[in-house]
Chains A and B, each alone.
Chain A
Amino acid sequence: MELCKWMEDGWSAASAKEPDWNGTWDLIIVGLGTAGAQCACTAAGQYGHSVLGIEELEQLGGMAAAGEITEYYCGNKGGLYQKIDEKAAALEAGESYLPNAQGISGWAKHLALQRELEEAGVTLRYDSVITGVWREKNHVLGVTVLDGAGQEEHHRSRYVVDCTGDGILSAMAGCEMQWSRDTLFPFQPFSNIRTVLTEKGVQCRNVDSGYLDPNDPWEYGTQLVLSSASPNFYEKDYCKGEPLLSIASLLGVREGRRIVGESTLRFSDILESREPGPPAFFCYSNMDNHCRATAFESPLYQDWIAAAGLWSVYLKFPVPLGALIPRGMLGILTAGRAMAADHDGACALRMKDEMYKSGEAAACMAHLSLCRSVPAGQIPYKEFQAELARSGCLLPGETSCQKRNGDQGNREPFQWPEDPEKLERILSSDRPGIGLWALRGLPNLAPLLQKWLRSENKPLRYHSAIALALQGNPACAPVLLEMTQDLSGEAPKTSARFCHPYAILGILLIGRLELLELSEHLLSLVEEEGPARTAVIRPNDLIQDREDLRFQYFSHALAALMKLSQSSAALRARVKKAALIRLEKEPFFLSLGDTKLPVNKELLKWLERALTKQEAHSANEPV
């Protein structure tokens, strides 16, 4: 038997004698937050298993309770959690409580969960964390738990479920893990959440506060202090007549370490409607990682969120069963935010409805696995489907679809247009996004787009160039150059957020097409402020002031040039020199919520990494 831990320098396992177990369970659930509390309720209440629940805080429900995120955003409804929500709402309906204006108060949710877990017979350990995982080869057998009084106990189980959100249990068990993207900030921003008293009642303020690796304790501490130290944190609300009631006892961490699963949720699969395996449940969300540094996102995400501007398109898609199963492991499942997904997929797979669903699905998987004596990946899928259909967690015949914001504020399904006349109308409008994305898959319409490149109608001309760039067609180069020189500050208005000015889109797409002939123009944007000093600012959530505009021009030009210089060592050297000089003399800031983050160090790190990668790639190429 091995005792596994996660040390500062990574995973470690040591041979150890089997401990004297303090308890033996069917399931141990680590983290009783959104996914975990639901998992425990389901495993014990629906299936009658013996369950030990381990929670770090003295409160259940995670972000829905201690995190003060009391309302639902996006999300595919359906599942056992809805009944618990009804009970929590009933508790809150009493006269003694000032209702939460945005949903169910955290404590009402906690109390409803507490009663549910107690009735189901779950044994609860508050104020407790795990310090080690016991396993035999790839089979997880139990955990060591440290309680608030400093006492350690060993507990054995037939299944452990990682509901910590950050993959703490999975990493400790030695599962393969993934750490998101290799770009400017590896993870999505986190929020510092506070509750205030408004005229409408109690409301939470969910403010993007910075970036952190939620698995690095030192960085976690530093970022927490830095983000909390902002005077904006309290002055704005407190002094303007919105008394601060509390500060949430959990940070709103959107993304952390995730498992490498038997299957993975990938953004490319979502867009292509590919199913990487039988679904555990369906997810419904827009693609929003809250990060305004789009220059450093994946090419696919850039196409979707920046070039086509489809922030306001909501996608319903399946999450594969295998995303809950750590690859090659037995006796362990992962629910919640640490399920297997790529960075882009992870920005959609984090809403409360889906976290609850993942907990219910994990409980059902463990139950069927135990009853049928098969690994979780081999459970009879029809039985799984039938079980989840009873609660509405996974409906028979549920399929993928996409919706967009309608004129009445509702969300309506739509089809990607294919008719050339309709596409011309869309591209001539200020909301071209749906048409741009449709044209991305219609290369047969390239001749038409090339014709429209000569149009006097600026939106049609620009949008045709974007569509051609999305098809990978360099015929749009002259118009892309024209766009980069456009100082009007105008931007397509497909979505309420992430509207990139045409000038920035031009730069982004020159990089996408690797138009080496335009490198001198991009280089001038890295060397000096240029148009960022004079272009009109039309404030939106992406660009609020000159500092934001300077960051967008510089970051996009730099990222585009790095793509162009993949095939030119000479250009690479010039880009490096220009960027280093500019970063030396000029501070850059990235807006995030109320704060401006200084990003020169991060930009330098990104540049060094990108250069190292390209140089290594060149060295390996045959001469």
Chain B
Amino acid sequence: MKSFDAVFLSASLSACAAACRLGRKGLRVLLIEKGILTAPEYTASFQAAEEQTEPAEQETRSFCQKLCERNIITEHGLVCPAIHPALCEELKSAGVTCLFRARVRGISQKEGRFLLRLVSLGVHLEVESPVFCDCTPDCLGERLLGKAPARCENRRFLSFVTTEGPKGPVHYRTLPVSGAEKGWKAAALLYERKASPPWPSKEKICGIAGRIGVLPLSERPRENRGCISMPPAYTLQQAYDAGIQTARAIEEAQYGAL
């Protein structure tokens, strides 16, 4: 069984931000992601860049500046999927361990430590850590601990990319859908131009995300008997700020000043 100082469930942007901060401080950190991409929400929730708020944290400002320098935040104020390689750079330099295509089968607590039973690529694994942070938008980690918040509704969406032509600007757009299982039907409507509301007629779809986006709960306890919940965030800056603030809280609670 591998031991870590902190385990984050889901490689959302806030989880990556927190994991990298702790990793840079020398802690052994594990990120568990069911897909293969970090920040799987990137194609959608950051499209409303004009609504972005001023970052609260210096680390968030630095990260955003890096994204701008690399054209990851484009001239149209969009965040392109290249945020994935940019985050992987951060994870690599911070020495964060990542498990992709990994699912949690069960979580238990013993003597102040969390024991996670995982399956990844068909292999059963066990990891343990004194810190477990649930960053899933649907509180999967907390539910597996038997500590699910009372309110568990989520907003789900399908994200897609449009353009006015091969040389035209690229837009990242979202379409609300009722649930993950029916997401493909929304995609079919997009394909057949029957989606409502329709997107501007001169735009053509040139890509649809491979998975349904889930926006996090707006009400979520910060801490649930030892299990830390990543606060909900709806913009890039909010998400990165949330990760940094969560990491700081973990440092202070577990290790004092690092």
Contacts and interface: CB of A to CB of B under 8 A. Distances in A.
Asked if A and B bind, the verdict is yes
Given A131-B124, A198-B166, A111 B98 contact: no
Contacts of B49: none
A195 B207 contact: yes
Nearest to A239: B71
Interface in B29-53: 34-37, 43
B206 A146 contact: no
A228 B33 CA distance: 15
Given A129-B103, A229-B89, A8 B124 contact: yes
A170 B87 CA distance: 35
A226 B92 contact: yes
Contacts of A221: 97-100
Interface in B181-203: 181, 183-184, 187-188, 190-193
Contacts of A110: 184, 187
Given A111-B191, A224-B36, A244-B80, A66 B100 contact: no
A6 B166 contact: no
B116 to A, nearest CB: 12
Contacts of B212: 58
B121 A94 contact: no
A164 B103 CA distance: 16
Contacts of B74: 243
Contacts of A200: 166
B83 to A, nearest CB: 9
Nearest to A221: B98
A235 interface: yes
B208 interface: yes
A68 to B, nearest CB: 9
Contacts, number: 205
B115 interface: no
Nearest to B121: A217
B85 A197 contact: no
B253 interface: no
Nearest to B199: A96
A7 B36 CA distance: 21
A215 B123 contact: yes
B140 interface: yes
B204 A126 contact: no
A564 interface: no
A172 interface: yes
Contacts of B88: 224-226, 228-229
Given A98-B206, A107-B208, A225-B88, A243 B100 contact: no
Interface string B86-117: 10110110001111111111000000000000
B120 A150 contact: no
Given A146-B105, A150-B144, A197-B170, A166 B121 contact: yes
Contacts of A238: 71-72, 80, 82
A169 B209 CA distance: 27
A146 to B, nearest CB: 6
A520 B124 CA distance: 50
Nearest to A241: B167
Given A245-B161, A246-B207, A146 B119 contact: yes
Contacts of B192: 91, 94, 96
B218 interface: no
A488 B167 CA distance: 45
Given A107-B208, A220-B101, A96 B122 contact: no
Contact of A5 (B85, B97, B124, B206): B124
Nearest to A256: B121
Given A243-B170, A245-B207, A246-B43, A96 B193 contact: yes
Contacts of A146: 103, 105, 119
Contacts of B37: 247, 249
Interface string B63-80: 000000011101000001
B120 A217 contact: yes
B140 A150 contact: yes
B180 interface: yes
A222 interface: yes
A171 interface: yes
Contact of A235 (B70, B100, B104): B70
A110 B184 CA distance: 9
B204 A234 contact: no
Contacts of A91: 191-192
Interface of B is mostly: mixed
Contact of B122 (A152, A172, A230, A246): A172
A146 B102 CA distance: 11
Interface in B146-192: 161, 163, 165-167, 170, 180-181, 183-184, 187-188, 190-192
Contacts of B163: 98, 197, 243
B97 A97 contact: no
A217 B212 CA distance: 24
B249 interface: no
A231 B89 CA distance: 8
A599 to B, nearest CB: 19
A225 B105 contact: no
Interface range on chain A (Cβ under 8 Å from partner): 35 or more
A171 B191 CA distance: 39
B145 to A, nearest CB: 10
A149 interface: yes
Given A146-B103, A244-B81, A224 B35 contact: no
B89 to A, nearest CB: 4
B206 A97 contact: yes
Contacts of B166: 98, 197-201
B28 interface: no
A554 interface: no
Contacts of B140: 149-150
Contacts of B220: none
Given A146-B103, A234-B82, A57 B92 contact: no
A110 B192 CA distance: 14
B195 to A, nearest CB: 9
A107 B191 contact: yes
A152 B104 CA distance: 11
Nearest to A106: B210
A127 interface: yes
A137 to B, nearest CB: 22
Contacts of A6: 122-124
A249 B100 CA distance: 11
Contacts of A164: 122
Nearest to A12: B124
Contacts of B71: 238-239
Contacts of B98: 221-222, 224-225
A64 interface: no
Contacts of A152: 105
Given A58-B211, A197-B166, A199-B166, A97 B105 contact: no
Given A150-B143, A235-B70, A225 B92 contact: yes
B97 A218 contact: yes
Q: Which of B72, B120, B192, B207 gathers the greatest number of chain A CB atoms within 10 Å?
A: B207
A328 interface: no
Nearest to A225: B88
A356 interface: no
B174 to A, nearest CB: 14
A98 B124 CA distance: 42
Given A58-B210, A95-B204, A231-B70, 9 more contacts: A96-B190, A110-B184, A195-B207, A221-B98, A225-B88, A225-B96, A229-B88, A246-B209, A249-B35
20 contacts: A8-B123, A96-B193, A98-B166, A98-B205, A107-B191, A110-B187, A111-B184, A111-B187, A131-B105, A150-B104, A217-B102, A218-B97, A220-B100, A224-B100, A225-B92, A228-B85, A233-B85, A243-B170, A244-B82, A251-B36
Interface of B: 34-37, 43, 70-72, 74, 80-82, 84-86, 88-89, 91-92, 96-105, 119-125, 138, 140, 143-144, 161, 163, 165-167, 170, 180-181, 183-184, 187-188, 190-193, 204-212
